[in-house]
């Protein structure tokens, strides 16, 4: 390292040029770095969604879900498979291990489901593998003065979407909520009977009418050519003219017309709207794209005929996050600079030290750009965490130069020698800190996607700060401190006296430390562990859910009433209502019960979200028979509560239902459990006709009843170069069971009442059917206090362990506590690896095992302070708190390294005790300076709420500040005691030798 310092002095002009270049490149990198909300990360889950309008849950389960499960059951890397079958939809969720290539997994799933034969009327499966890059830059609503007419929807598709699509940086614009044009065919029963036309004949009207078939290659007139046969129905008039029987046209027995059909209802501000979702290109700047979308929306709305409004923009969140984090970085840098000034009381020395912050950040920004890492909430959080540590190396160097200048005459050799004296200590401490952060990037899966950018940002900044401390700081010191007149400092006699007593009675200090450490571990074990607070309360999500036997129209009416109520609240800026399932939502795996209405309230700036949640919860009495829930929510987070799941799996529905009732009864009264739900409590009447095969063909009966009771797709025609579905409308609308039994079907012997051909039954069956690994399962979901996840999870396990399970039934716990335990386990393993690496680096630095062992004992000291800080602040530890503890491994050893390094140098010409006393008195100031500077740099994080999705939170700051404060104070007393204890024989021998030598000198003096 001495060579690096000497090179800087021998090439002053080059170093000056490099400093200027670094600052310029840093500013350029900051202005050109792509900004986005989150780094790109794969969700280890693939979702297959299938829509089949008019199909009931049982049909979807048997004909869609089970074949899908069989097709994807053997996909490589799959760890779990869950499925849900409901009225009109089926969904299979596949979860994968952290080693799986999710892009390849999604392709494998797509290939598997493409080969599954599906019944008529069921759409092609949608396969989605979610990624943070799919988070929209902007979500817009498009509304028209005269409503969503066919012409207006066409205008949105032909003009508005292309206008947004052509903007620079926009990757895709998807339009949702649009009504679908269909051709409605309504048969007339009387005319059918008069013309002797049957339903099966009507349903084949388009069979073979729209096709394109190649008949192969033929040689005609000496030349080879292909022969094709095509047939297209391209108008309503042509469709009406098609024959359904000899001498009978379609229009003779049915009315044919266009109509608008809406799969789902989407409303904003009380009126029906279209939704436009804008995503950006991979390397595009989210802020710039968001601004362009906002400008274009305003431009498109100028006419007044159409209103294009940006509802949610992640670019605003990015700007807010960048500004917030930059403010915290600047405040942290300011606090660190003030600390240095207060300790050194020299403005020039303070400026020399402070230069390391902008220089390190500038180089870090350039390296981030070179590494292809974006500026996001994770990387900015890393900068905010590292800013206090950036000055540590420079503080140790400048303090040593400053101290030597107070005793020695200024010279360049003295500056180089002062830097060399501490170079080994700061290099090993910086490498040790880097060794803690780099393994974070080795974690597999989605955690790696978040922690690798964080680790690289900290690594880049720390390594740069080390180079700055070894080159720029001594070089600037030789220039700025040349004419300084400094007073020689006096070591603290009280501190040295107390430390000497501490070394004589080290058993007192070590015993007290051991008791404190044991107490802190016990306190941590007993503390409830919280879920990560991921809600930034920018929205309030409201869900209104009715039993499945409630008519959809009634549910929607109640939803609109709730919508009007929410719009009247002072906190609400905009209210969005969505109900039903659509292909647009299914593309992203969004499907739900048809008797559920979802509302999202976008809040005004500074609105009290909790007040609105309390108000909505107070409305439950107005919606009798419904489940009304409300919770604060964020862009990518769910709600503000944690959920614990108990899955009961088996083949016998009655058996698992009985166990489910026992589980629900056992956990409903537990402290910390807010609400318990059962996914199979909702039942629906199922009316069945069991056809006697001797009397009729079951398939023909099913086709005729299907045609009478629900729309039947007949095929497609071409309209304006687009395929349009042709639907045969139901002929019957039974209002009672008797009406259903009175239906008549046509057989070979003529019209017959259905009850003469089939046995009629009524059963209550679950409205939703759930599978886990292909087996029926029942899920009990408990919403629990997010601050007591581990505690409540343990209580639930205690209760479920008491339940006797019938043969063939198994019970599995999952949800918040299991996820938390997995994350804690990953970080715990990373911590062990980091501790091992730090110890290895120390052994390589000091060439011994015992001195590094003394350094590593600073870690338990940090644990004492971290736990004490959590107890005092009354903050429940979560994932980010444990992440803060992991960071402490690299931070707290720095002070111990600086101290032990001085002791080891002193031992060359002093006894161990003298070496300890001198090193502690000399290193006390830089140790306190670096610790207080780091703590002060963390203060903005301590008092500022974290942003959604960030791993830099208040609990992390509490752990780091508390742990570092305790470790710093205790390092000055405990580490010296431990070090002398490790060398107790040598130290005792030295003290005896000194005592005998002193005695001999005294006797000589007396003689």
Does 489-526+848-1006 carry CATH code 1.20.1640.10? yes
pLDDT confidence band for 443 (50 / 70 / 90): low
- One of 3.40.50.300, 3.40.630.30, 3.40.1260.10, 3.30.70.1430 is the CATH number of 42-130, namely 3.30.70.1430
Q: Do domains 42-130 and 538-633 have the same CATH topology?
A: yes
What gap in Å lies between CA 820 and CA 35, rounded to an integer? 30
What gap in Å lies between CA 191 and CA 197, rounded to an integer? 8
For residue range 626-680, what is the model confidence (pLDDT) as tens digits?
A: 888 887 776 554 444 577 888 888 877 778 888 888 888 888 878 878 778 777 7
What gap in Å lies between CA 195 and CA 189, rounded to an integer? 10
**CA pseudo-torsion sign 943, 945, 949, 955:** positive
**C-alpha dihedral (79, 84, 89, 95), degrees to nearest 10:** -20
**CA pseudo-torsion sign 635, 641, 647, 652:** negative
**C-alpha dihedral (924, 925, 928, 934), degrees to nearest 10:** -140
Least confident of 308-312, 357-361, 486-490, 491-495: 486-490
Q: Which residue has the tokens 């009931």?
A: 56
What percent of the chain shows pLDDT beyond 70?
91
* Strand 775-784 relative to strand 673-678, pairing: antiparallel
State yes or no: pLDDT of 895 exceeds 90. no
Give how far Cα 187 sits from Cα of 204, 238, 650, 732, 971, Å.
14, 17, 46, 11, 89
Report the b/e string of 558-580 with b at 16+ CB within 10 A. bbbebbebbeebebbebbbbbbb
State yes or no: pLDDT of 447 exceeds 80. no
The per-type count for the chain, helices as H runs and strands as E runs, is 35, 31
Burial of 147 (0-12, 13-18, 19+ CB in 10 A): exposed
Query: Average pLDDT of the chain?
Result: 82
Query: Which pLDDT score is estimated for 535?
Result: 42
Looking at residues 10-37, what average pLDDT do you find? 88
Does 538-633 carry CATH code 3.65.10.10? no
**Overall CATH class of domain 1-20+345-482:** mainly alpha
**Contacts of residue 701, Cβ cutoff 8 Å, sequence gap at least 6:** 689, 691, 745, 754, 757, 758
Cβ atoms within 10 Å, residue 200: 13
Look up residue 91 and give its two tokens: 């969904």
**Runs of H (alpha helix) within 802-953:** 816-846, 850-856, 858-873, 879-906, 912-943
Please give the order of strands across the beta sheet that includes 572-579.
271-272, 265-268, 572-579, 596-603, 539-545, 627-633
Look up residue 733 and give its two tokens: 């609308």
N-term to C-term CA, the chain: 53
- Residues constituting the chain: 1007
pLDDT confidence band for 94 (50 / 70 / 90): very high
Say if CB 56 and CB 686 are below 8 A apart.
yes
More confident residue, 325 or 193: 193
pLDDT confidence band for 467 (50 / 70 / 90): very high
Say if CB 418 and CB 412 are below 8 A apart.
no
List, in sequence order, every beta strand (DSSP E) within 166-320: 170-176, 180-187, 211-220, 223-231, 243-245, 248-249, 254-261, 265-268, 271-272, 274-280, 306-313
pTM of the entire predicted model: 0.74
What gap in Å lies between CA 371 and CA 283, rounded to an integer? 13
What gap in Å lies between CA 104 and CA 291, rounded to an integer? 34
Least confident of 320-329, 501-510, 753-762, 848-857: 320-329
State yes or no: pLDDT of 100 exceeds 50. yes
Give how far Cα 732 sits from Cα of 117, 705, 739, 759, Å.
30, 9, 9, 20
pLDDT confidence band for 366 (50 / 70 / 90): very high
Query: Which pLDDT score is estimated for 583?
Result: 62
Cα Rg, the chain, nearest whole Å? 37
State which fold the 133-179+262-320 domain adopts: Alpha-Beta Plaits (3.30.70)
pLDDT confidence band for 348 (50 / 70 / 90): confident
List, in sequence order, every beta strand (DSSP E) within 99-199: 126-128, 138-144, 170-176, 180-187
413: left (phi over 0), alpha (psi -120 to 50) or beta: alpha
**Contacts of residue 244, Cβ cutoff 8 Å, sequence gap at least 6:** 197, 201, 202, 205, 250, 252, 253
461: left (phi over 0), alpha (psi -120 to 50) or beta: alpha
Query: Which pLDDT score is estimated for 945?
Result: 55
What gap in Å lies between CA 939 and CA 869, rounded to an integer? 14
Q: Indicate the angle between helix axes 446-480 and 2-10, nearest 10 degrees.
A: 60
Give how far Cα 160 sits from Cα of 281, 293, 625, Å.
19, 11, 42
Looking at residues 327-356, what average pLDDT do you find? 79
What gap in Å lies between CA 458 and CA 441, rounded to an integer? 11
The structural domains of the chain, with segments of one domain joined by +, span 1-20+345-482, 42-130, 133-179+262-320, 489-526+848-1006, 538-633
């Amino acid at each position: 390292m001495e060579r690096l310092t000497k090179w800087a002095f021998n090439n002053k002009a080059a170093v000056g040029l490099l400093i200027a270049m670094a600052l310029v490149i840093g500013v350029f990198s900051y202005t050109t770095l792509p900004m986005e909300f989150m780094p790109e990360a794969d969700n280890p889950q693939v979702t297959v969604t299938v829509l089949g309008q008019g199909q009931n849950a049982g049909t979807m389960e048997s004909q869609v879900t089970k074949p899908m499960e069989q097709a994807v059951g053997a996909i490589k890397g799959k760890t779990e498979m869950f499925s849900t079958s409901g009225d009109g939809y089926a969904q299979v969720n596949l979860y994968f291990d952290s080693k799986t290539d999710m892009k390849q997994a999604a392709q494998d799933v797509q290939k598997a489901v493409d080969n599954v034969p599906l019944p008529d009327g069921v759409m092609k499966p949608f396969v989605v593998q979610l990624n943070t890059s799919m988070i929209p830059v902007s979500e817009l609503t498009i509304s028209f003065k005269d409503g969503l007419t066919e012409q207006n929807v066409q205008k949105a598709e032909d003009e508005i979407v292309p206008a947004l699509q052509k903007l620079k940086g926009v990757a895709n614009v998807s339009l949702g909520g649009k009504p679908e044009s269909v051709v409605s065919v309504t048969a007339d029963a009387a005319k059918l009977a008069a013309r002797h036309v049957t339903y099966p004949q009507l349903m084949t009207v388009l069979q073979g009418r729209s096709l394109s078939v190649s008949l192969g290659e033929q040689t005609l007139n000496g030349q080879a050519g292909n022969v094709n046969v095509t047939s297209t129905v391209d108008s309503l008039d042509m469709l009406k003219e098609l024959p359904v029987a000899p001498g009978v046209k379609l229009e003779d027995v049915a009315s044919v017309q266009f109509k608008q059909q809406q799969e789902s209802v989407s409303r904003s501000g009380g009126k029906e709207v279209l939704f436009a979702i804008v995503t950006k290109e991979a390397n595009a700047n989210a802020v710039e794209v968001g601004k362009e979308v906002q400008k274009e929306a305003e431009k498109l709305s100028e006419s007044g005929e159409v209103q294009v409004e940006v509802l949610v923009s992640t670019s605003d969140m990015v700007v807010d996050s960048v500004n917030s984090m930059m403010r915290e970085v600047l405040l942290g840098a300011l606090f660190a600079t003030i600390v240095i000034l207060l300790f050194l009381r020299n403005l020039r020395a303070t400026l020399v030290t402070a230069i390391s912050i902008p220089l390190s950040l500038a180089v870090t920004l350039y390296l981030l750009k070179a590494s292809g890492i974006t500026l996001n909430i994770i990387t900015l959080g890393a900068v905010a965490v590292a800013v206090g540590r950036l000055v540590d190396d420079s503080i140790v160097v400048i303090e040593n130069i400053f101290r030597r200048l107070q005793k020695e005459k200024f010279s360049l050799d003295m500056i180089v020698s002062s830097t060399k004296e501490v170079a080994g200590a700061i290099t090993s401490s910086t490498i040790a800190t880097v060794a803690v952060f780099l393994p974070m990037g080795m974690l597999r899966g989605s955690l790696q996607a978040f922690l690798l950018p964080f680790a690289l940002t900290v690594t880049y900044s720390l390594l740069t700060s080390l180079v700055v401390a070894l080159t720029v700081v001594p070089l600037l010191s030789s220039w700025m401190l040349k004419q300084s007149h400094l007073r020689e400092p006096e070591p603290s006699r009280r501190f040295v006296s107390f430390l000497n007593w501490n070394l004589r009675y080290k058993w007192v200090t070590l015993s007290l430390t051991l008791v404190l450490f044991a107490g802190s571990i016990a306190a941590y074990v007993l503390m409830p562990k919280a879920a990560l607070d991921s809600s930034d309360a920018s929205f309030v999500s409201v869900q209104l859910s009715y039993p499945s036997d409630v008519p959809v129209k009634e549910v929607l009416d109640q939803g609109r009433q709730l919508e009007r109520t929410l719009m009247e609240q002072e906190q609400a800026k905009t209210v969005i209502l969505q109900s039903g399932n659509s292909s647009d939502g299914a593309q992203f795996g969004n499907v739900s019960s048809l008797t559920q209405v979802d509302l999202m309230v976008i809040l005004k700036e500074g609105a009290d979200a909790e007040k609105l949640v309390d108000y909505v919860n107070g409305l439950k009495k107005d919606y009798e028979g419904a489940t009304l829930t409300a919770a604060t929510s964020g862009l990518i987070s769910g709600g503000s509560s944690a959920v614990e799941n108990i899955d009961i799996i088996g083949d016998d529905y009655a058996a698992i239902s009985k166990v489910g009732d026992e589980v629900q009864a056992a956990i409903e009264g537990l402290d910390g459990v807010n609400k318990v739900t059962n996914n199979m409590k909702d039942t629906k009447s199922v009316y069945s006709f069991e056809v006697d095969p001797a009397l009729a063909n079951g398939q023909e009966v099913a086709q005729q009843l299907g045609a009478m009771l629900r729309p039947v797709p007949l095929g497609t025609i071409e309209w304006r170069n687009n395929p349009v579905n042709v639907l045969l409308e139901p002929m019957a609308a039974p209002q009672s069971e008797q009406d259903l039994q009175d239906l008549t079907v046509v057989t070979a012997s003529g019209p017959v009442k259905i009850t003469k051909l089939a046995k009629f039954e009524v059963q209550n069956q679950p409205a939703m059917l759930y599978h886990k690994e292909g087996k029926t399962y029942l899920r009990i979901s408990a919403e629990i206090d997010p601050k007591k996840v581990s505690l409540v999870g343990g209580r639930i396990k205690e209760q479920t362990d008491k339940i006797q399970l019938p043969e063939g039934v198994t019970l599995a716990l999952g949800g918040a506590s299991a996820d938390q335990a997995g994350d804690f386990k990953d970080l715990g393993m990373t911590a062990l690896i980091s501790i091992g690496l730090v110890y290895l680096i120390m052994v390589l630095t000091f060439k011994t095992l015992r001195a590094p062992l003394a350094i590593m004992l600073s870690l338990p000291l940090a644990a004492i302070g971290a736990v004490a800080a959590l107890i005092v602040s009354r903050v429940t530890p979560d994932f980010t708190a444990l992440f803060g503890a992991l960071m402490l491994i690299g931070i707290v050893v720095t002070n111990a390294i600086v101290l032990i390094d001085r002791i080891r140098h002193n031992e060359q010409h002093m006894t161990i005790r003298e070496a300890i006393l001198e090193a502690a008195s000399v290193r006390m100031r830089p140790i306190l300076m670096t610790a207080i500077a780091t703590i002060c740099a963390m203060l903005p994080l301590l008092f500022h709420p974290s942003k959604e999705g960030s791993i830099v939170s208040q609990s992390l700051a509490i752990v780091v500040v508390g742990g570092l404060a305790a470790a710093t104070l205790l390092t000055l007393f405990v580490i010296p005691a431990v070090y002398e204890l490790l060398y107790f024989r040598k130290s005792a021998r030295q003290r005896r030798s000194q005592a005998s030598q002193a005695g001999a000198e005294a006797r000589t003096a007396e003689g």
